[in-house]
Chains A and B, each alone.
Chain A
Amino acid sequence: MIGRVKKLFNTVFLIEIGKGLALTLRTMLKPAVTRQYPREKRKPFAGSRGLHAMRRDDSGQKERCIGCGLCEAVCPADAITVITAEGPDHEKIVSSYELNLLRCVFCGFCIDACPVSAIQMTPEFELACTSRKDAFYTKERLVKIGDKYMGGKG
């Protein structure tokens, strides 16, 4: 009985609508939180997982990757292909390193697996591209990204 009276009272005096309008008014007076991307960019958090990069080795001459294939083995998305060969001095060389960003799920396992910390993640998150080919990151491209984010040092 009491419930029905209360409901009638609320309906007649438009109480719910009033509450809603009050909230809207309060929010209008608060500063806006929407960022105007792409004009305005968010600062990445520490440890955020963006585009991969390859560091250079201590000599700075070539990539740091030693071609162990552990990143390839651990990658749950099968995004990495490492192909190695024997160099002129019987050393192991990485003849091709390819990361297919179309497959990558940015889990960061590859970074954890790398025994020499060659492959790293940068805060770079703007990865849109207009062709599939652009989504394949070769060793050379990855080293360039490394140079950009890690200053080209070992």
Chain B
Amino acid sequence: MTEQSKLITAVIDGKQVTVAAGTMILKAAESIGITIPVFCYHPRLTISGSCRMCLVEIEGGSKPVTACSTELAAGVVVYTNTPTVLEARREIMENLLINHPLDCPVCDKGGECLLQDHAYDWGPGASRFTERKRLFRKPIPLSDRILLDRERCILCTRCVRFCDEISDHRELAILEMGGNSEIAVAPDRAFDSQFSGNTVELCPVGALTSTSFRFKARPWEMARLPGICPFCGCGCSIDIHTRSGNIMRFMARENPAVDDGWLCDRGRYGFDLSGGSERLTKPLVRKQGRLVAVSWKEAIATAVEKLRRAVSQYGPGAVGGIGSAWSSSEENDLLQRLIRESLESHNVDCSLTDDGRPAALALAEGLGTFTFNDIDRADSILMIGADPSRYQPILDLRLKKAVITRRTPIFTLASTDGEMARYARESLRYRAGSEESLLRLLTAAVKKEKRYDSFESDLRAGGLSREAIDRGLERAGLGPRTVVLVNASLLTDDVRVYLVKELVAAMGAGASTGLLFDSANGFGARTAGAVPGYLPGLRPIDRGMSGPEMVVAAERSTLKALYILNREHHDSAAVARARRGAELLICHALFLDEASGSGDIVFPAASVFEKQGTFTNTAGLAQSTAPVLNPPGEARPESTVIEEIMERLKQ
């Protein structure tokens, strides 16, 4: 038995508690439902023991001890509510409130503030301090997004610890000493971390505020609904706070399987989808060259009639549908059913610019099995062309956690600069385009084979050698639980998929593979069948045109009708090219821009916050979201429209 799993028994407030040796008093008390007030302690940060709010008394002890940083010893008797403890709390509160301004009515934290709550529960009720409070100019910007009000800061260092331990960007520090201490951006640094918003949420008081939420609403005015962040392939859990039909802010909702309770700023502050433009609220149909607003009935009837005519005139092969890796699985499933079942065409894909099939093949071949928690247990991590810091930020935090807390060796191979290279034991660059040779060489190196010569020249041109790869593999030390992370967009053809498969197979049975999608539902769009050659559940079927092929065919007028889901997430240039030759372009769009405005029928869509749907994150975790807002005007969720079209096509 290791020391960690040894159990000890002690008594807290007369209740017996049995916990693993090494557990802090605070946690042990928590486990039996006793809450001890804290400021600096945070379960996901290291212990600092600086605020002294958590003082408790131990029988026979000479003075109170901090519960957050004192291990519970076997057999001790702890009290959390003796007169001494209460007196200690009162004094800590009185001290903290000496310099804390009476800002509650105009403080964004008011209503969810630890200082407010503790002052109410444990404070002395009145202050004996009659001197002048410490005054600072308020607030000062720490970055474009975060403001600091130094008067309100209680110097708990949660924000500093987050930057030091979690994001590891180390931008914040305490300047000066004693009573003059203040939080500041470290000299010569900028607080430009993509995780900066977490410090605002961590701050127990209202010292850190975000420009995006400042003074918008008070905590008790907002409805809180659980949701899933729709801005990258991670799918972090969020709480969406709304007031009178507007999204006010996103807060993290801890999900150990994904986000560990953190969010990146792209997700946290990205909820304004509009960018200031007006939403589409009425269906539009092109009449005599101009788009005019019509009723839903007319728009759907027109779509049905035109789709039917396209199929009867040119055959089903002249019709195609584009789903979206940013739309829910349900919508992608309906789109492929519309195309495959109702229109009997095989031309389905989820992107206009990339062939969605190879990644689907990879999933069908059993790649893409990793979970975020695998990272915590991994023996080593091999990253190929992946840049999670840019495209899957929360995965970046996971990887850093593995490196910082477990020294997990990482071996990165990338064609561009990525932050992860700094954490890697070994990081190598390859020339973009030489991925195939790279994969072959890697497999050969893993198998310790010598059949690499033919690819070497390709890689050497990019400055990579077999020796370097051998060294990298050696330093990273492949083990039975190696995780291989592959950028899904590298899988541009079937050969690469099989090469990755071979590589992973060479690593042994325990290895897991992650395909890193940068889109919210890249995984789900594929398992929902919005790719050439695969039905939902990745059951194979005849393969039609891929997205890029459809664009070319439409441009040449061999593809006559194109149905596009989620216009905002498709390349405008590709839409314009397809438009040139296509006779019929139908799209669902949030806004009227050049691309959607070129359509023949434009359905006003509901945004991701306005409809129900399932999104599968890059680790294969399917999560459902519920609507938190109503679509504006007559805008409708895409699924109801497609369903209606399918229904009408049957008649």
Contact = CB atoms under 8 A, between A and B. Distances in A.
Interface in A79-102: 84-86, 90, 92-93
14 contacts: A66-B106, A67-B106, A67-B215, A68-B104, A68-B105, A68-B218, A69-B218, A69-B221, A84-B217, A85-B215, A86-B214, A90-B138, A92-B106, A115-B105
B216 A72 contact: no
Given A68-B105, A116-B105, A84 B216 contact: yes
B110 interface: yes
Given A90-B139, A90-B147, A66 B216 contact: no
- By secondary structure, the B interface counts as loop
B214 A90 contact: yes
A104 interface: no
A85 B216 contact: yes
B136 interface: no
Interface of A: 66-70, 72-73, 84-86, 90, 92-93, 115-116
A27 to B, nearest CB: 56
B106 A72 contact: no
Contacts of A69: 218, 221
Contacts of B139: 90
Contact of A72 (B138, B147, B214, B221): B221
A116 B216 CA distance: 20
A138 to B, nearest CB: 17
A84 B105 contact: no
Contacts of A85: 215-216
A85 B216 CA distance: 5
Interface residues of B, number: 15
Nearest to B105: A68
A86 B215 contact: yes
A84 B221 contact: no
The 4 closest A-B pairs by CB, nearest first: A68-B105, A92-B215, A69-B218, A84-B215
A72 B211 CA distance: 24
A70 B104 CA distance: 11
Nearest to B218: A69
Nearest to B220: A73
Nearest to A65: B105
Contacts of B217: 84
Interface of B: 104-106, 110, 138-139, 147, 211, 214-218, 220-221
A84 B221 CA distance: 12
A72 B218 CA distance: 11
Nearest to A90: B139
A90 B106 CA distance: 12
A69 B110 CA distance: 11
Contacts of A116: 105
A93 B216 CA distance: 10
Nearest to A72: B221
Contacts of B211: 86
Contact of A73 (B106, B216, B218): B218
B215 A66 contact: no
B106 A68 contact: yes
A89 B106 CA distance: 14
Contacts of B216: 84-85
B218 A66 contact: no
A93 to B, nearest CB: 8
A66 B218 CA distance: 13
Contacts of A66: 105-106
B75 to A, nearest CB: 49
A139 to B, nearest CB: 16
A72 B215 CA distance: 15
Given A66-B106, A84-B215, A92-B106, 4 more contacts: A69-B221, A86-B214, A92-B215, A116-B105
Nearest to B138: A90
Nearest to B140: A90
Q: Considering residues B147, B216, B218, which has the most beta carbons from chain A within 10 angstroms of its beta carbon?
A: B218
A85 B104 CA distance: 16
A138 B544 CA distance: 62
A26 to B, nearest CB: 59
Q: Considering residues B104, B106, B138, B217, which has the most beta carbons from chain A within 10 angstroms of its beta carbon?
A: B106
Contacts of A93: 215
A129 to B, nearest CB: 25
Contacts of A72: 221
A69 to B, nearest CB: 5
Nearest to A85: B215
Contacts of B214: 86, 90, 92
A72 B222 CA distance: 13
Contacts of A70: 105
A17 B400 CA distance: 100
Contacts of A86: 211, 214-215
B398 to A, nearest CB: 34
Contacts of B215: 67, 84-86, 92-93
A54 B406 CA distance: 60
A149 B582 CA distance: 71
Contacts of B221: 69, 72-73
Nearest to A94: B215
A96 to B, nearest CB: 12
A68 B221 CA distance: 11
B175 to A, nearest CB: 21
A104 to B, nearest CB: 19
A69 B216 CA distance: 11
A66 B221 CA distance: 16
A62 to B, nearest CB: 14
A90 B376 CA distance: 42
Nearest to B214: A86
A84 B216 CA distance: 6
B242 to A, nearest CB: 14
Nearest to A68: B105
Nearest to A81: B244
A67 B214 CA distance: 12
A154 to B, nearest CB: 17
A118 B214 CA distance: 22
Contacts of B104: 68
B214 to A, nearest CB: 5
